[in-house]
Structure 1
Amino acid sequence: MTGDDIRVLALKGMEFRVDPEPWSLADARREEIEVHFERLKQANPALWSGPILMLSERRLDGGVLTGRYKRTDFASLLWWRDHGYPEMCNAFGMGALRACDGAFVLGRMAPWTANAGRIYFAAGTPDLGDIVEGGRVDIDGSVLREIEEEIGLTAADFLPPPTGGRALHAVFAGPRIALMREIVARLPGEELVARLRENLAGQQRAELDAIFLARSPADLDPAMPDFIRAYLHARWQDGAGFADVDNAASPA
C-alpha cells in the first residue's frame, strides 16, 4: 500500500452502532479460522482470541462518519487479514497523543504482540465492552481505555479540550480505518517520554517496549505503518503545531 492509497479526512463527528447479527462468514468458516489461528499460535504462543467488533458498513455524510459493527473474534480478524480482507473493515480508535509542546508520542509494539515491532499510537479494535446504551459503539471510550492500559495515562493527565472538542480524523487505508482522536497531555515531550517509560517498566507484561517522539518528518520511522505516516504528514501540513496545542490549554 502506498501513500496514494491512503486518505486522511477531518471529521465533524462519528456515530457507530452494533448490528444484532454476528459476522456470518466467520461463522461459516469457523473450522478454517481455528486451524489458521492455531498455526499462528505456534509461531507466537502469546496470541489470544477474544470477542471484538468489525465494521460491516459505513457512510460519510457532511463530515460525519456512521456505520455498523458486527460481533466476531480476534482469530477471525487475523484470518480476515491473511485471506484478502473479505467483507469487513477493521475500524479502530487511536489516541493521537501529543505533548503540550506539540510533539506526537508513539510506542513500539512488544515482541509478543500480533504487531510486534510496529510503531503506533495507543489503539485497539473495539470489543463488547465498548457497546454502550442503545447499542452505540463508544470509540472515544475505547481510545481512553487503550491509552490507560498501554501507557498508564488517564483523563487527569490530559489538558481539557478546546471549544469544539479535540481534532478528529479518519484515515482510510484500504480495509483499515483508523479513527484518530487527538489528545494532549499536560507534560512537554521529554518529560512525558520519561513518565511513559517509567510506566512501561512497572508493567508485568507491557504491550509496548519503547516510546518515540515525532516533531517533524525527520522523526518518521520505517516501522510506522503507512497510515500513521500519512496522518502525521497531514497534521503537520495542516499547521497543527504549537498553536493548536496552546489553544487546548484553556478550559472549555
Structure 2
Amino acid sequence: MSEGRPYGFEVLSLARIEARLVTYDWAWARDNAERVAQNWERRRAARPALFDGPVLLACDCAVTESGCRVDFFETTYSRFIAYRDGGSPDGHVANAFAAIVPWSADGAVLMGEMGPQTANAGQIYFPCGTPDRDDVRGDAVDLAGSAGRELGEETGLDLPEDAGESWVLLRGDGQLAFLRPVRFGETAAQLGARMERHRRQEADPELARVVTVRGAADIDGGRMPPFVRAYLAAAFADGSALTG
C-alpha cells in the first residue's frame, strides 16, 4: 500500500519480503572498469580505511498486495560506490539495504551521524549497511538478519522480544530502503544513553554521535539522505504502520 511520495520516494507498507540471491551479468560495471578503478583510487585517497569487499545489490524488485520480492546479485564495493557516485546511471541496478528504525516509548526516532573515517562521513541515518555474503542463507538473502546485525554493531541495542515484523519500503533515487520500524520500551533519553555508552566503548566507532529526532522540525535537510527525510516526513505526518 502506498503512503505517498515525499522527497520523490514512494513509501510502501509491506507485510512480508522475499529476498534471494541470483546470477546477474552487470554490463555497466564491465563496460566502465576504468571509471570504477579511478573512482576507487580517489575514494581511497580520501579515506584509506575503505575496504573493497563483496556486497549485494538489487537487480529486480516486484511489489504486490501480499508483499515484495527482491533479487540480489554479488559484486564488489568499488563497483557499487562508483555506480552510486555516478548517480546510478543504468537504472536496472539499485542500492538495496535493510535497517531497523528504533522508535522510543515517547515517540522519538534514534539514529547516528557517521564518523569521519566512513564512506558517508557526516550523514545522519538509521543503523544499516549494504548486504553481503554474511546475509546469504542458501539462495535466500536475510534482510531481517542484516538489519538486526547492523543495529547491534552500531548501537549495542538488541531487538525487543515483541518487536513488530512489518516493513516499510522507500523506493526512489536508485535506492530500495527496507525499513523495519521497532518500538522500544525505553524513552529516547534512555535509548540514546545506551547507544552512546556502546559508541564510547568501541575502539573505532562508526558513529560520531547519537541523534534524536522528535518531530518533522528535527529533519536535517543537509545531512539526512533523502530516503531518511522521506520516511520521517511520512511517519510524523501519519504515524500508523510507519512507526512500529
TM-score greater than 0.5 by the shorter chain? yes
> C-alpha distance in 2, partners of 1:55/1:130?
14
1:6 aligns with 9
The answer (yes or no) to whether the contact 2:52–2:77 under 8 Å persists in 1 is yes
> C-alpha distance in 1, partners of 2:126/2:119?
15
Mapping for residues 49-198 of structure 1, pairs under 5 Å = 49-85=52-88, 86=90, 87-133=92-138, 135-155=139-159, 158-161=160-163, 165-198=164-197
The answer (yes or no) to whether the contact 1:98–1:104 under 8 Å persists in 2 is yes
Give, in angstroms, the shift of residue 198 of structure 1: 0.9
- Per the alignment, in what secondary structure is the counterpart of residue 208 of structure 2? strand
* Cα gap change, 1:167 to 1:102, in 2 (>3 Å): farther
Counterpart residue type for residue 238 of structure 2: D
> C-alpha distance in 1, partners of 2:225/2:71?
26
> C-alpha distance in 2, partners of 1:194/1:215?
16
Question: Runs of 5+ in structure 2 lacking a partner?
Answer: none
The answer (yes or no) to whether the contact 2:7–2:229 under 8 Å persists in 1 is no
Q: Which moved more, 1:140-149 or 1:96-105?
A: 96-105
Aligned length: 236
> C-alpha distance in 1, partners of 2:68/2:110?
26
Q: Which moved more, 1:84-93 or 1:141-150?
A: 84-93
Q: Deviations over 1:78-124 (max 9, x none)?
A: 11012231231001101111112221101100011111111001011
Counterpart residue type for residue 151 of structure 2: I
Mapping for residues 218-233 of structure 1, pairs under 5 Å = 218-222=217-221, 223-233=223-233
Question: Runs of 5+ in structure 1 lacking a partner?
Answer: 246-252
Moved over 6 A (4+): none
Counterpart residue type for residue 101 of structure 1: D
Give, in angstroms, the shift of residue 21 of structure 1: 4.0
> C-alpha distance in 2, partners of 1:25/1:178?
22
Mapping for residues 195-234 of structure 1, pairs under 5 Å = 195-222=194-221, 223-234=223-234
> C-alpha distance in 1, partners of 2:27/2:37?
15
> C-alpha distance in 1, partners of 2:161/2:86?
42
* Cα gap change, 1:41 to 1:62, in 2 (>3 Å): same
Counterpart residue type for residue 162 of structure 2: P
Counterpart residue type for residue 131 of structure 2: P
> C-alpha distance in 2, partners of 1:179/1:239?
17
The answer (yes or no) to whether the contact 2:155–2:195 under 8 Å persists in 1 is yes
- Per the alignment, in what secondary structure is the counterpart of residue 150 of structure 2? helix
Percent of pairs identical after alignment? Answer: 32
1:20 aligns with 23
